[in-house]
Amino acid sequence: MPAIDVAGEFETIRRLLRPLAHPEWARGLADDVAVLPSRPGHDLVLTKDAIVEGVHFLPEDPLDTVAQKLLRVNLSDLAAKGAEPFGYLLACHWSERCGWPEREAFVAGLRRDQAIFDIALLGGDTVKTPGPASFSATLMGWAPSASTVSRAGARPGDLVFVTGTIGDGWLGLQALQDKLTLEPERMDALTAAYRTPMPRLEFAPVVRGLATASADVSDGLLADAGHIAEAGRVRLEIDLEVLPLSAAAQAWMDSRVDPQGALELLATGGDDYEIVLTAPAGAENALRREADRRHLRLTRIGRVAEGKGLAVRYLGQEIKPTRSGWTHD
């Protein structure tokens, strides 16, 4: 019997799922959201992500934080598109360990984030499974008509920016797996970044008004920058040495003997849920003013050039990272 060719995540989308997509609203399945004409003057923006025990969260993670992470990874997609969320559909696949107290904890996490982000549950389904627990949510938001930013708008001459800091999600996972030792307050900050990342919804109007392309940083900064390059058929050049780091990540970096290799790990680990975006050079001052108004860190990390693909530089020299980020192969 011939071997079965098991394609990776993105090949599965390209070869199998893209032919099923709506020719206009689904954006060719090349973005993080679908956009539908809706109420007068607005588009309905939808996104869906799933999280699976042992893949996206650890079996020992408290279920209230699992619920919060589920909502936040989806809210991050809406933020990167410039959309304002209002509601969600939920699917729960409870495992054998999910008794009534665990389900109550999960709902407590949902309730907490509904209040924080002003969203409401609109429907869904719950089932029981003998396998690991898994959950999915479909988040919905509004954006003014024809304003939803895609991955595909970057143009040569644009600059590349990222919000917040990079690498804390991956470091938080290392901490929870006992692969990392830092001061207790640093460890707490990193584990919180992994379990309950903060979507940059406050920056969504700025993205909508000034960005030419954007994506949320879920698979890893280099991978998601590469998605923008591929969608726009341009070349993104990223300077690794300017990667924005938190105090905890910098403390970890200070003990590394190979700074380039350490920065590659941070730039490819994923689970950051920041926004990587491109914008014209003339928009940089406005972007920085808006970020400062929101007390949000914004870092210029590269540029858009003629050509195709992703180029990664370290101290002026182009390098070849061993990986770009996370994929479900």
Residue 323 DSSP one-character state: -
Residue 49, marked binder: yes
Residue 113, marked binder: no
Q: How many residues does the chain have?
A: 329
Residue 239, marked binder: no
Residue 56, marked binder: yes
Q: How far apart are the first and last CA of the chain?
A: 22
Identify which of 159, 170, 186, 301 has the alpha carbon closest to the alpha carbon of residue 244. Answer: 301
Residue 254, marked binder: no
Question: CA-to-CA distance for 177 and 116, rounded, in angstroms?
Answer: 29
Q: Which helix (H) or strand (E) holds 68?
A: helix 63-81
Residue-wise over 21-39: b if at least 16 C-beta within 10 A, else e? Answer: eeeeebbeebbbbbbeeee
198 phi/psi in degrees, rounded to 5: -105, 110
One-letter amino acid for residue 172 of the chain: G
Residue 270, marked binder: no
Question: Which alpha helices (DSSP H) does 221-314 contain, by range?
Answer: 221-232, 247-253, 259-268, 284-293
Residue 151, marked binder: yes
Residue 271, marked binder: yes
Residue 258, marked binder: no
In the three-class reduction of DSSP (H, G, I as helix; E, B as strand; rest coil), residue 130 is classed as coil
Residue 216, marked binder: yes
Residue 289, marked binder: no
Known binding residues for ATP are: 124-125, 151, 218
Q: Which residues are annotated as a binding site for Mg(2+)?
A: 32, 47, 49, 77, 125, 216, 219
**Feature table: binding site:** 32, 47, 49, 56, 77, 124-125, 151, 216, 218-219, 271, 326
Residue ranges at the known binding site for substrate:
56, 271, 326
